[in-house]
Amino acid sequence: MKWSVRKKLYAGFGCVLAIMTIMAGTIWSEVTQSHDVASEIRNDDVPEVVGYLILIDEAGDVYRDATGAITGVASALGDYQRNKQEFWDAIAAVKKLETPGGADYQRIEQIERLMTGFTQGFEREIVPLLGDKNALEQEITELRSLYEEYLTPIEGLLDEASSAEITETDASLLYLTDSFDTIENTIVVLFVIALVLTCIIAYWLSNSITTRLTNLDSVAQKVAGGDLTADDIVDESGDELANLASSINKMQSSLTTLIGSISSVSNQVQHVTADLSNVSQDIVAGASSQADKANLIATAAEELSLTISEVAQQGSATFEEAQKSEQSAESGRNVITEMVDSIQQVSLQMTEMSTQMNELGAHGEQIGSVIRVIEGIAEQTNLLALNAAIEAARAGEFGRGFAVVADEVRALAERTTTATQEVAGIIQQIQTGTQEAVTYTQENCKLVEIGVERSTGAVTALEEIVAGAANVQSMVNSIATAAEEQTAVTKEIAADITAISDISERSLQLANSSSDNVNGLNSKVAELESLVSKFKLS
């Protein structure tokens, strides 16, 4: 029968577990029995012994207190009642521990009847006589009689019951001690058996596993060291280790085939990489030459582009200057045109001012005529005032008021004459200035007419300059446009040449990378051959 390693381990540990289970079951049985015996001792035997001992003590106390009551002890009768109640309590406690109808239960009932007879006899026959000294002897006699009739049998029954309970307790303790000895011996025996079986199973399993693992490790070490010439492992056990041995045999066979194939492919790759290395070197050389030529062309194209760009910039600058000249000429023409217009307006205004000055001179002459009339009126008024004064003087006292008025009129005439003369002087000055202004205005009008004629000629010359500047601007614009187009074309050529140069450099880098990869492949092939050579295939 072929078992796997798992089943063998399960079987070994199962045996150990079965032994431990048997040992645990045996110990459990003994412990259970011991526990039952101990429970009986604790819950039955010991309480019964204690109860009987309490009954013996309380019966003695009841008799003692009864004797004390007869002899005149003050608290004896109270103690008697208390101890009697404790006796009945102890009887009830012991009675609960016994089985009804059993011998011990009947014995307790007999003790109960005897104690009842004693207490009733004492309380009926002796207690009424307490305190009577003449009845003391009778009381003692009655108490002795009650003691012998009731308490002596009680003591015998209690001694018998307590002795029986003590004997039963001793038997239980002896059984418990024997049970502990049995448990101890069982544990020792089963432990020794389990230890021996465990050692046997462990030795059998370890010997079965480690021997074959040693063989497997030996072959695996040879394979790890590159030795594939080891013999196949023979294992007919049919467990996991046998499967592992079969897998190692297959691995060794597969590695032998694989390493042989790798060695063959490595030789082929070495030849191919040698050819590829030569081709890569040629590609690198061609790409390097192409990159150099492309760099030269790109450099020349960039220089040409810079030159054309500079020409275009100069043309643009010239075009801008021509535009500025045209703008300046146009501005000059506009300014002169405006100046001509202004001069014409000034000429018109000067003409109008000359007319107005002439009119002002005429008005001044008219004012002079009016002032001369006012002077004549003032002279006449002065003469009239003088005549009035003369007439007032002739009239004497009656003409005094008229003389005063005549004086005022003459004074007014004199002031009017003076003011008129002043106004006449001012108007004369105005007429003189106006005449001079008219003369100057006429001369300025002639000068303005001359300026208008000359400004008209300047405007004509500036118009001719503007027309020439426009023609120059058009020609410069054409040159700049052509230069810009040539610059754009040259830049495109330079960009294309640069792209070609970049492609050439990229091709050169790829060729160098390919060459490096080929060199790396050669080194890897050499390393692979070195590794393959470590394996022994035959």
Label each residue of 179-239 as H, E or C. Answer: HHHHHHHHHHHHHHHHHHHHHHHHHHHHHHHHHHHHHHHHHHHHHHCCECCCCCCCCCCCC
Task: Provide mean pLDDT across the span 212-241.
Answer: 79
Please give the share of the chain, as a percent, with pLDDT higher than 70: 80
* Confidence tier at 450 by pLDDT (50, 70, 90): confident
With bands split at pLDDT 50, 70 and 90, how would you rate the model's confidence at 154? Answer: very high
Please tell me which residue, 465 or 158, carries the higher pLDDT value.
158
Three-state DSSP state, 536: strand
What is the distance between the alpha carbons of residues 498 and 152, in angstroms, rounded to a whole number?
143
Q: Is the pLDDT of residue 479 over 60?
A: no
What's the pLDDT score for residue 320?
78
CB neighbour list of residue 375: distance below 8 Å, 6 or more residues apart: 417, 420, 421, 424
pTM summary value: 0.34
Q: Does domain 5-200 have CATH number 3.40.50.2300?
A: no
Q: What's the rounded mean pLDDT across residues 116-144? A: 89
Alpha-carbon distance of 86 to 261, in angstroms, equals: 109
| pLDDT score at 300 | 61
pLDDT in tens, 229-263: 878 888 777 777 778 778 888 887 887 887 777 77
The predicted structure's pLDDT at residue 2: 66
Between 373 and 96, the higher pLDDT residue: 96
Domain with residues 256-533, CATH architecture? Orthogonal Bundle (1.10)
CA 451 vs CA 171, 240, 375, 454, 455: distances in Å? 168, 131, 49, 5, 6
User: Are the CB atoms for 538 and 314 separated by under 8 Å?
Assistant: no
Task: Please say whether the beta carbons of 220 and 529 come within 8 A.
Answer: no
Lowest mean pLDDT among 205-214, 245-254, 469-478: 469-478
Whole-number pLDDT of residue 262: 72
Q: What is the pLDDT of residue 447?
A: 76
Segment 63-87 shows an average pLDDT of: 91
Per-residue model confidence as pLDDT tens digits over 359-413? 877 777 787 787 787 778 778 887 887 887 788 788 777 777 777 877 888 888 7
475 confidence band (pLDDT: 50, 70, 90): low
* Topology match between the domains 5-200 and 256-533: no
- Asked whether the predicted pLDDT for residue 334 surpasses 60, the reply is yes
> What average pLDDT score do residues 118-127 get?
92
**For residue 15, pLDDT beyond 60:** yes
pLDDT exceeds 70 at position 438: no
The pLDDT of residue 538 is 63
Mean pLDDT of 438-447: 75
Q: Which of 112, 191, 123 is closest to 153 using CA atoms?
A: 112
The percent of the chain in helix, strand and coil, each rounded to the nearest 5, is 95, 0, 5
- pLDDT for residue 144: 94
In the chain, where are the structural domains located?
Answer: 5-200, 256-533
Average pLDDT over every residue of 472-495: 67
| Beta carbons within 8 Å of 27's beta carbon, 6+ residues apart | 183, 186, 187
DSSP annotation of 148 reads I
The yes-or-no verdict on residue 301 having pLDDT over 70 is no
pLDDT of residue 307: 66
pLDDT score, position 62: 92
pLDDT at 56 over 80: yes
Average pLDDT, the chain: 79
Whether 494 shows a pLDDT value over 70: the answer reads no
How many residues are there in the chain? 538
Residue 115 has pLDDT above 90, yes or no: yes
Please state at what angle helix 152-224 crosses helix 240-395, rounded to 10 degrees. 90
**Residue position matching structure tokens 């645990």:** 24
* Mean pLDDT confidence for 351-364: 75
Please report which helix (H) or strand (E) contains residue 46, including its range: helix 46-71
Residue 182 has pLDDT above 90, yes or no: no
pLDDT at 493 over 60: no
Pick the more confident residue, 20 or 465: 20
